[in-house]
Amino acid sequence: MSLAFSRRRGAAAVVTAALLVPLAACGSGDDSGKDTGSASTATASAAPQVALTVLAASSLTDVFKTAGAAYQKEHPGTKVTFSFAGSQDLAAQVKQGAPADALVTADTRTMDGVKSEAGTPVVIAKNRLVIATEEGNPDKITRLEDLADSRLKVVLAAPEVPVGRYSEQVLDAQKIKVKPVSQEADVRSVLSKVELGEADAGIVYKTDAATATDKVDAVDIPDAQNAVAQYPAATLKGSQHKNEAAAFVAWLSSPEAQKILQAAGFQKP
C-alpha cells in the first residue's frame, strides 16, 4: 500500500467520523426526550399510594365506611382500610404488635391501656345508650327497670367490652338486677341477637340501633340514668406511615368528619 493511498484513506475516515458525530448527537437527543416522556408518564400513572390500617370500635362500622370514602376522595394518595371489633380486642391486637396505623376505641379506659403503644389521643365523638327491642316492642319495654323481668330474654355485652361496662354502670346505679341470657364480645353482636329474635331486648349505643330501624325499636334511657361513651382516636407508634396516620386522626375532628359523625347520631366531642 502506497503512502499516498494510506493518507487518502485516513483523511476519508476522519471526514466520515466528523459527519457521523452530529447525527449521533441528534439521534441521542431525540431518544432521550422520548425516554424521559415515557418515564414521566409511567411515574405519574404509578404514583405511590399510602395504605393506612385503622383499628376501630365496632360501633363505628357504618359511619367510618362513609367517613373513609370521604377522606380518600379528599386525599387521593391515601387508601384507608378499617378493621372493626370490640375495643378490648383491638387493644389486644395493638399490644401483640399487629401492623396498624391508628386506633379508635369506644372508651378512654381502653385507650389508656395502650398508652405506651399509641400517641396522644383526642376524643372525636360521644354516644349514649338505648334499649333495643324487637320491632314493634311487643313486650312493651319502656324503661331500664323492665329489663329485670325474668320472663324477658335480655342480652348484654361482656363487662370487659366498653358498651358492656357502660350497661353495667347504668344498671348498677339504678340498682337493677339483670340476668342476661348471653354476654357478647361487641355491641354489634348484641344488636344482632335482638334483630334475629334470639333476645327480647339488649342495651346498645343509640347509633347502632339507628342502623337497624327496620328490625328493632329503640327505647331511650333518660340522660340522668344514662352513660356517655367517649371515642378517643390516636396514632400508633408502630405505624410505618406516621405522618399520614396523624393527618387522618386530625381529620376526624374536622368540620367535614364531624358532619358525617353527627349525621349518624354521634354527639359532639
Domain edges within the chain:
50-126+230-263, 128-225
Query: Are 249 and 102 a contacting pair, CB within 8 Å?
Result: yes
Within this chain, domains 50-126+230-263 and 128-225 share the same CATH topology: yes
What CATH architecture is 50-126+230-263?
3-Layer(aba) Sandwich (3.40)
Query: Are 239 and 47 a contacting pair, CB within 8 Å?
Result: no
As assigned by CATH, the class of the 128-225 domain is alpha beta
For residue 87, give every residue at least 6 positions away whose Cβ sits within 8 Å of its Cβ, in sequence order, or none: 57, 105, 106, 107, 110, 161, 162
Grid coordinates of 42? 409511567
Grid coordinates of 209? 340501633
Residue 28: per-residue pLDDT: 43
The continuous run of DSSP H or E covering 95 comes out as helix 87-95
Q: For 194-213, write each residue's pLDDT tens digit.
A: 999 999 999 999 999 999 99
Instruction: Encode the chain (269 residues) as per-residue pLDDT tens digits.
Output: 443 434 444 444 433 444 334 434 434 444 444 444 444 444 444 455 899 999 999 999 999 999 999 999 999 999 999 999 999 999 999 999 999 999 999 999 999 999 999 999 999 999 999 999 999 999 999 999 999 999 999 999 999 999 999 999 999 999 999 999 999 999 999 999 999 999 999 999 999 999 999 999 999 999 999 999 999 999 999 999 999 999 999 999 999 999 999 999 999 99
